[in-house]
Structure 1
Amino acid sequence: MKGPLFYAKILLFGEYGIIKDSKGLAIPFNAYRGALKTSQKLVGKAKESNQNLKKYYNYLKGLDKDLVSFNVNELEEDVKNGMYFDSSIPQGYGVGSSGALVASIYDKYAYNKITVLENLTREKLLKLKNVFAAMESFFHGKSSGLDPLNSYLSLPILINSKENIEPTGIPSQKEGKGAVFLLDSQQIGETEPMVNIFMNKMKNEGFRKMISEDFAKTTDACIEDFLHGNVKSLFGNVKSLSKLVLKNFKPMIPDAFHKVWENGIKTNDYYLKLCGSGGGGYILGFTEDYEKAQESLKNYKLELVYRF
């Protein structure tokens, strides 16, 4: 048995802001993917994944049946027979490793599932997002449901607010010099502690004001520019966003990268921002000249995501 492939995702814009109802833009990232497989001889990661699926099965049994119900007998049987999630998506890197697993389980075992082929109304998308939020909460406390939604639909998703999400088109890639890239921090990030730091910061009125005014407005402007292909304006806004994150989200940026972050803003060779919740994993980079950014960051591992 081998299930269909589900891809990683990248939240290009909107990290933390979407918790507080500002805009976000997520895109599938096909370089990493996962699928359900079965093996009689489970070793290493496959064995670990199978053990986790046993726990996950017990969690799914307890979910509200009005929201979503599963063929739990078939799921239990498959897990007993050695099912595991075979994935190249790095865990703790902010690219949706648990999201792809959630999408694959929903796809195979959910009753009355909403499929990608039907007309995806706003109601259906919200229902899917709520189902996925409940399913993914098993992995890191509170989930927005966006990672699995992106993985399941394999489409770019524009988050206008918690109650308003829609599939969107992004400009096709050009053969230009500019790029979006991933910078590997070589550290694993944990979502839950980072979100807790953010929630504690939100108790501070000054921080709340910064989020609802500067951070949300700059993020929204970046999304508008990206979707409409306004590259020049985009880099100005991404630079502002990079400064805001460096100033207000220091704990989410691994210590070793504070200087690297500053250097990008100073030289304009590249601008960095958080990829997911931060604390490790990938850092997202934007540059008008990818070769120059590669030279500036030659001591680090970069991965290309999108070309301008």
Structure 2
Amino acid sequence: MKTSEKKYYGKIMLFGEYSVIVGSKALVVPFTRFSAGWDNSIGNDVSETIQQSRRDLKSWLHHVSTNPETSEILDTELLRKDLENGLFFDSNIPQGYGAGSSGALVAAAYERYSTEINTDNLPLVQRRLALLESYFHGNSSGIDPLACLLGKPILIDENKQIHFVDLKLRQTGVSIFLVDSKTTSKTGPLVEYFHQEMHTYSFFKKVDQIYIAAVNQAIEGIVKNETDQLHSAIKQISAFQLNHLKPMIPVHLEDKWRSGLETDDFTMKLCGSGGGGYMLVFAKNPSKMSQYFEEELVIKLT
């Protein structure tokens, strides 16, 4: 029996991974290929998937209810009772792929169990969602669960203001794909690595002067359908990540990443925190790009 008909879709952060932590813009879009929602299963004939979902939820719930920063955000007692009565979170969003699996869970829990929902104050909602999602990543901007909650493309500007954007991705002159690295990763250690690197002045300076500027230019280019600006900025992002964020790039994709930059047949960048899961690929000529990824699962976004 369904307890809620609402679906929470996955998300893709097109631009802003890591840089948004230190002041860049960010752009996130819904990923409707995957979704999640609440469901109920009563009785002894319960699959291992459902049992694992409940175990994961109970572990997260324990963290939320015992953490002073989060214990008042949700009605944890009601959620606990619902879990005992058969509730589980039914999701086909792949975990460790940068597709919003934890964001969808947090969004769904917030909408159903929040002690005070005020979607008119989106910055406040984002801060609360960030606290709830921190269990999964160690540190969260709250952008991913906010995107899953709203189900719309959102742009975070340099002042942390939230804007809804009407993207016309098919008019950018650049096709966007996801390539499956066939590996998973944990966000927390990679975010910690980035924070540690930011304590090095040379890295901080490059992020501040090169990476953030390229991310902002890419977002402006895709919003305004400025193909040349978008293409140039994506190449800068790709080169920066290859040279300075190497732990985030799966080793078996490094050569293809480099080939894209050298041939200009396509350009790769991280999708979320990286390390595994999906990688984003941008191509002006999809047929040329596809020749490089004959062994990988490729999903077309636009």
Deviations 1:210-254 (A, max 9, x none): 000100001110000000011122112211211111111111101
1:16 to 15, 18, 23: 18
Match for residue 79 of structure 2?
A: 75
2:8 to 3, 6, 9: 6
**Residue 254 of structure 1 contacts residue 279 of structure 1 at CA under 8 Å; is this kept in 2?**
yes
Match for residue 32 of structure 2?
A: 30
Match for residue 125 of structure 2?
A: 128
The aligned runs of 1:195-206 (5 Å cut-off) are 195-206=191-202
The aligned runs of 1:71-110 (5 Å cut-off) are 71-110=75-114
The aligned runs of 1:237-252 (5 Å cut-off) are 237-252=233-248
Match for residue 49 of structure 1?
A: 53
Match for residue 255 of structure 1?
A: 251
Match for residue 154 of structure 1?
A: 151
**Residue 17 of structure 1 contacts residue 216 of structure 1 at CA under 8 Å; is this kept in 2?**
yes
Asked if 1:298 corresponds to 2:294, the answer is: yes
1:282 to 278, 281, 291: 278
Q: Distance in 1 between matches of 2:98 and 2:127?
A: 20
What SS does structure 2 have at the residue aligned with 1:173?
Answer: helix
**Residue 177 of structure 1 contacts residue 290 of structure 1 at CA under 8 Å; is this kept in 2?**
no
**Residue 211 of structure 2 contacts residue 237 of structure 2 at CA under 8 Å; is this kept in 1?**
yes
Q: Distance in 1 between matches of 2:197 and 2:173?
A: 38
Consecutive unaligned residues of structure 2, counting only runs of 5 or more, are none
Instruction: Decide which moves more: 63-72 or 165-174.
Output: 63-72
Match for residue 138 of structure 2?
A: 141
Match for residue 185 of structure 1?
A: 181
Q: Distance in 1 between matches of 2:70 and 2:159?
A: 21
Q: Distance in 2 between matches of 1:189 and 1:280?
A: 5
CA change 1:138–1:65 in 2 (3 A) is closer
- The Cα of 1:177 is off from its aligned counterpart by 6.9
Asked if 1:265 corresponds to 2:269, the answer is: no
CA change 1:291–1:126 in 2 (3 A) is same
Q: Which residue identity lines up with residue 83 of structure 2 in the other structure?
A: V
Deviations 1:24-51 (A, max 9, x none): 1111111111011111233222111101
Q: Distance in 2 between matches of 1:5 and 1:182?
A: 22
Q: Distance in 1 between matches of 2:166 and 2:40?
A: 35
- The share of aligned pairs that are identical, in percent, is 34
What SS does structure 2 have at the residue aligned with 1:161?
Answer: coil
Q: Distance in 2 between matches of 1:73 and 1:233?
A: 51
What SS does structure 2 have at the residue aligned with 1:103?
Answer: helix
**Residue 28 of structure 1 contacts residue 156 of structure 1 at CA under 8 Å; is this kept in 2?**
yes
**Residue 177 of structure 1 contacts residue 289 of structure 1 at CA under 8 Å; is this kept in 2?**
no
1:39 to 33, 38, 41: 41
Q: Which residue identity lines up with residue 43 of structure 1 in the other structure?
A: S
What SS does structure 1 have at the residue aligned with 2:93?
Answer: coil
Q: Which residue identity lines up with residue 30 of structure 1 in the other structure?
A: T
CA change 1:105–1:170 in 2 (3 A) is same
Q: Distance in 2 between matches of 1:294 and 1:222?
A: 23
Deviations 1:258-284 (A, max 9, x none): 101011111111100011111111111
Instruction: Decide which moves more: 138-147 or 209-218.
Output: 138-147
The number of equivalent residue pairs is: 298
What SS does structure 2 have at the residue aligned with 1:144?
Answer: coil
- The Cα of 1:85 is off from its aligned counterpart by 1.1
**Residue 139 of structure 2 contacts residue 191 of structure 2 at CA under 8 Å; is this kept in 1?**
no
Q: Which runs of 4+ in 1 moved over 6 A?
A: none
Deviations 1:149-173 (A, max 9, x none): 0000011111113632222221253
Deviations 1:27-84 (A, max 9, x none): 1111111011111233222111101112222233235589953333321111002211
Q: Distance in 1 between matches of 2:165 and 2:56?
A: 34
Consecutive unaligned residues of structure 1, counting only runs of 5 or more, are none
Instruction: Please report the TM-score for the alignment, with normalisation by the length of structure 2.
Output: 0.93
Instruction: Decide which moves more: 202-211 or 75-84.
Output: 75-84
Asked if 1:168 corresponds to 2:165, the answer is: yes
